Structure 1
């Protein structure tokens, strides 16, 4: 292909605007469902809305119009909250979809530029290369060693080789480039592509439910069934006693409402969606919500070396010329042999380089030649990177029939295909090891004098002459030591899995104080291990070198067998299977191929591993905050259920202390508390110094559930004490109800504050930055004041204005029934050095 690419100028800016005006943007436009209607139907099916609707209807039928209007307003308010939360989640996920959209390279105004796939227009000159997802249909103009996987259209998984002369010289949207590179002219976009006409959308990912989601769904279902059973029992008891159908139905509905924890699924969806949105703002694109849940559990991070631990800014640093046995730095290059070595390395690279090492070779060639030979030679045959360890070969010819057959790759492989003697091989290995000990990345370079036209099917069949070594330096990233320390502090193991050799990798690992740099293992050694040996080996070894796809996959599977939660970084075509197999596949946004991004569950837009520390911290924070929210919901539901049930079941003097309007008022206070306050809570400082939680850990483990149940029972005992205190003092039903309700609301406020941490004191958590706490509690206190002291509201809720003493004892009991938990937290903090899982 030579520099043919630069003869294609592509569209001008004006032509792009005209094409877009004529053909539209490159998007698959599916039939849009009516969001509002779908939302209304979804809300109408919610159990709490159904109960409210039934209760409101009973009030209207029995002539209590005011109560009916209040419950109808509650329905509208619940629906509004539900729509608001849903739209927040949906907007967050829509933005994510936009961020995770594929990019592509086009030639416009004679220059290459990266654009979003939806910006491609008909007539564009699109460059596609190995690992790219093809974003539109087009006709091949130029290509070399170009093949595509068209299984999404044909079902055939084998790659199809194509060029401009092929019977089918078109490429199609949704297919993937397997090898080589091509320039195509776009002929169809969006719904006009073959994929668009079939009506498939590659964005349609059906997410399976996560373990946490299943646990929460099951818990809510059980509570709903319990609510249904209790509803029937209480209705039967009431109806037998009073023979009043509507009143007994209302009393039973009150209990059913109090049992139903409908805030839990709302909290789960909100936390996950907003968590994904917060990650996106940090430059971390999460493609599926379930990744957010898994992040906090990661126990092992498997990372590539080049571009993840190192800068991926390769500079050609040293040369070893085999024929003269001279080792020199690039600054010292002077002899024709040294210049030849650089030139052969360049010819063994892609004519349009995108790999940093190849860019460095082209740059070094440019800097030292008097006459650039590249425009005169055309690539006539290519063998892509292949073999174990890999090598690649390029065949160039000029118009006079002069030919260059150049290869570069792993030193071991180049020596093998160059027929070196044992002594010569030892000599080269010694030099390579000496260079590698300083962290240089080394490639062997060879030249063949093959003159036939029938090229061998395999590059190893050429007879090469070993020309020497080229060594590149790729410095470690400046922040990588701190990143590793953060992982180690959080109890996360880090493993390097690289295609590079052991000496270079160990040298870089030593420079960055990587734990376990002394012990390495290569891909071939790993493949010889039995399953049992491998399972032990992956836990003990931290550096794996000369890795290939099968070996990477074996490491991931072995770690999973050892019950590890594996995060894996990758960027190449060959990383796809391992990224998919890992619990958390992490693709690099800049240097990652579209195949890697497609297989991964998370994309780091800036190729910065430090963002994984942020992502894991966010995962842990979301999980901890969701747990706080749900523990709060369980704790506060217990007293509501029991204060409705106990007086009724035991036939106390005021059996129906709460009606549906009281329960709904409490629900309206609690809903925003759990999903707004707790979602906004900051990361607790001890959370990144704890071991990762096991993914098998059930969300509601007994010790935590017991804490919530005890908290709920203590609040209940406080409320029952106030109830009996009021009865003992011969207060009427309205005053008793007022005091019980005040106790419950005050207990709710302090429970919200206490449960912000199950480890740190309330004095510490009051300093947390979360402005919503003040707003929500302020609104709750204001509403409570209005209900108690504004006559129409007081009358409507069947309250009585309490005196200072009655108010004080109710509020004081509510406070005491919650504050005791501070003593439990104090004991936890006194325990020596044992990390407590918040």
Structure 2
């Protein structure tokens, strides 16, 4: 049912909107200028690698090596461009997410209800807000029904405040949340003028929480940087001791420092997270914090609400149970005259302007089957909001003649408890409730009362109610939901249903939806009474939690977390918000979800399709696996660079400075795109979604994985140094030796990036992975090497010489042996695993 606009609420005309916007501006808080491209570039130029390159460039200028100085300058531009491209790509992805996250606001303009982007609200607008929505401007209430608001974002107080146009404080504020009811308010302040804007609370000031993986990577990079600094001092000192040349020794030390510094790792991490979030956005999954992508893959328990999450939230009225006739009427029989009173009071107990799906249905049924529509004749004189455990609500209406209607509806148990019924009648009705609940139906009890005078009872339960019957709704499971849960179980993830509905209905829907072990259920009131230890014990063996109130849902989520689980909470309602906020990953429904739920969640599924959650979990696992591949690749290839730069010097070999800074930076320019662009684009490996989720406490590389990378790096080093000694033993000069050593390392890099695409499956299998960037980048690497060897001015600059076909075949063979032994290791691993 559409909102019926009171005649005095006409809203602004288009001309008035334009005038207001010109006078007061747009409804946007001051944007954060720290993300401008200039600041982005400044941050990049502070990177240690670029500082080292700048120092090397300066040294080359001082010693008169202008060609090398120019190359270093070009390298600075190239490295900056790559970093700027990656950072800007990440920034644009996050900006797109933020734009998609902007909610629409409902306003009245020219006597019409329209939806507009929130930033288009102007001073003087009439905004319409209802249960579950966030308020996006400051203003005064002009009209309301059963309206309460949570102002904890401003006051810190978590309880709801009831307000209307006649209360002492009839102002509502930007950033607060509607808990119950509906209101129309006139906008007085927008953007930075609002109370929220004045105290400086905005999403741009909230720092993104650092994930465990991010902490581990940061610690690793800092450790490597420290090692690099120590080795830099050692090599500089040793070289100076041997040669007495300060600047040349400094160049040697800086070359080693460049080879040790793993600046690709943090770039790869931020790229993987931001691009992962951007890709999920294209799939219809909005990620509010980019590091949530990584956490998704670690999910061990999914806690899900029932209504609107597992079910369609369609709330079709299937039957009506009339207490007087003791008969259950089907949908085709709603026109029966004996149902008139039940239909009328079910409607009167709903909000006059309904926003809940069940209440909208009850209004439609009233319109269809009641001949005389009395809604315009009666006005609400008092209301009792939805409250109690289990909950109920009561509305009092009166017409001009003083005739009253007092209608109540709520959970069947709540209505039976306050109705004037005998114990035998209650027992009989309980059997009916149980019977209908087992079929998956959702019931609401309906009752009426009489009351003279205006001193209404403090509590709605104190009225003397006459029980009228039940409304019987059916909210079917979503299509394909059984397959979704099957995939979730296959991924080693547990599913817990946490709902406010009753046990019988929940069990029926759970069984229809494919929830495993759904025979037993625990009630919310029981959860609230138990100790933390007992709650954890219950959480391990129970999959259904019914009649769960917000505090009970929150307690369960905290119990799972305390037990070491990684919790994703799915919900769409106001009562899900605390649990959504507390979970590691709060998942809200974007279509039918309330604004409160979406505000509290870290992830929003745009079209409410739960298959997208499986997509998100798969993406999280793929990204985590690919980050590990990228980091293991970086470790493995850095080791031979480090040792090839340092060992000839320390061992006193004939050509101690086999690599100069230009060679190292060439390798860095190849490695950067491979680890942060190519590996990010790798598809998910077969079997990824049939593995158990990893523990968040696990280090991103355990000792076994780290040792494999170290062994790979050492064996590549052995191959490179073998090529060095092979060339020397054949009497080759320094340039030919350097060409053979450098070529061996470049080809080893190519083979390593290929074999490390999987630490389980063979190279033959991974060659068929769909990743068009791999052949592109690797072909470019080989082409650049060939140009470097065979184009005279480049060969002269890099101090190498062109290799003969035999020499080229030799270095390729050495590189293959140095790397492809790992294929034998993987084959043995697969054989013994099977």
Fold match (TM-score > 0.5): yes
Aligned position for 1:575 = 576
Retained in 1: the 8 A contact 2:634–2:675? yes
Aligned position for 2:5 = 5
Q: Deviations over 1:282-314 (max 9, x none)?
A: 111111122112100001101111111111111
CA apart distance, 1:749: 0.6
Within-5 A mapping of 1:157-172: 158-172=159-173
Distance 1:202 1:402 in 2: 51
Aligned position for 1:562 = 563
CA gap of 1:608–1:2, structure 2 versus 1, over 3 A, is: closer
CA gap of 1:88–1:346, structure 2 versus 1, over 3 A, is: same
Retained in 2: the 8 A contact 1:20–1:121? yes
Aligned position for 1:486 = 487
Partner SS, residue 5 of structure 2 = helix
Partner SS, residue 400 of structure 1 = coil
Aligned position for 2:220 = 219
Aligned residues between the structures: 833
Aligned position for 2:643 = 642
Retained in 2: the 8 A contact 1:174–1:202? no
Partner SS, residue 72 of structure 1 = helix
Within-5 A mapping of 1:723-802: 723-802=724-803
Within-5 A mapping of 1:682-761: 682-761=683-762
Distance 1:317 1:157 in 2: 38
Q: Deviations over 1:633-657 (max 9, x none)?
A: 0010010001111111111111111
Aligned position for 1:249 = 250
CA apart distance, 1:185: 2.0
Q: Deviations over 1:579-617 (max 9, x none)?
A: 111111111112222222221111111122111101101
CA gap of 1:416–1:497, structure 2 versus 1, over 3 A, is: same
Structure 1 unaligned residues grouped into runs of 5+ = 834-838
Partner SS, residue 291 of structure 2 = helix
Aligned position for 2:551 = 550
Distance 1:333 1:182 in 2: 33
CA apart distance, 1:2: 12
Partner SS, residue 5 of structure 1 = coil
CA apart distance, 1:668: 0.4
Distance 2:273 2:351 in 1: 43
1:459 and 2:475 matched: no
1:516 and 2:511 matched: no
Partner SS, residue 92 of structure 2 = helix
Distance 1:98 1:3 in 2: 28
Distance 1:771 1:571 in 2: 39
Within-5 A mapping of 1:549-698: 549-698=550-699
CA gap of 1:16–1:708, structure 2 versus 1, over 3 A, is: same
Q: Deviations over 1:389-442 (max 9, x none)?
A: 111112222222221111111111111111422211110011111112211111
Within-5 A mapping of 1:136-147: 136-147=137-148
Distance 2:11 2:388 in 1: 36
CA gap of 1:776–1:274, structure 2 versus 1, over 3 A, is: same
CA gap of 1:554–1:47, structure 2 versus 1, over 3 A, is: same
CA apart distance, 1:627: 0.8
Distance 2:431 2:154 in 1: 51
Retained in 1: the 8 A contact 2:141–2:185? yes
Aligned position for 1:814 = 815
Distance 2:520 2:159 in 1: 39
Aligned position for 1:836 = none
CA gap of 1:656–1:832, structure 2 versus 1, over 3 A, is: closer
Within-5 A mapping of 1:201-220: 201-220=202-221
Aligned position for 1:187 = 188
Partner SS, residue 375 of structure 1 = coil
Retained in 1: the 8 A contact 2:133–2:594? yes
CA gap of 1:271–1:474, structure 2 versus 1, over 3 A, is: same
Comparing 234-243 with 815-824, greater Cα deviation is found at 815-824
Structure 2 unaligned residues grouped into runs of 5+ = none
Aligned position for 1:402 = 403
CA gap of 1:159–1:543, structure 2 versus 1, over 3 A, is: closer
Distance 1:430 1:87 in 2: 63
TM-score, normalization by structure 2: 0.97
CA apart distance, 1:33: 4.3
Distance 2:754 2:400 in 1: 81
Partner SS, residue 798 of structure 1 = coil
Retained in 1: the 8 A contact 2:32–2:204? no
Distance 1:757 1:799 in 2: 34
CA apart distance, 1:17: 4.9
1:423 and 2:429 matched: no
1:390 and 2:405 matched: no
CA gap of 1:192–1:530, structure 2 versus 1, over 3 A, is: closer
TM-score, normalization by structure 1: 0.96
Distance 2:622 2:122 in 1: 43
Within-5 A mapping of 1:212-291: 212-291=213-292
Q: Deviations over 1:75-95 (max 9, x none)?
A: 111111111111111111111
CA apart distance, 1:124: 2.3
Partner SS, residue 382 of structure 2 = strand
Retained in 2: the 8 A contact 1:2–1:378? no
Distance 1:642 1:829 in 2: 32
Distance 1:277 1:599 in 2: 20
Aligned position for 1:374 = 375
CA gap of 1:528–1:164, structure 2 versus 1, over 3 A, is: closer
Retained in 2: the 8 A contact 1:341–1:467? yes
Distance 1:573 1:452 in 2: 35
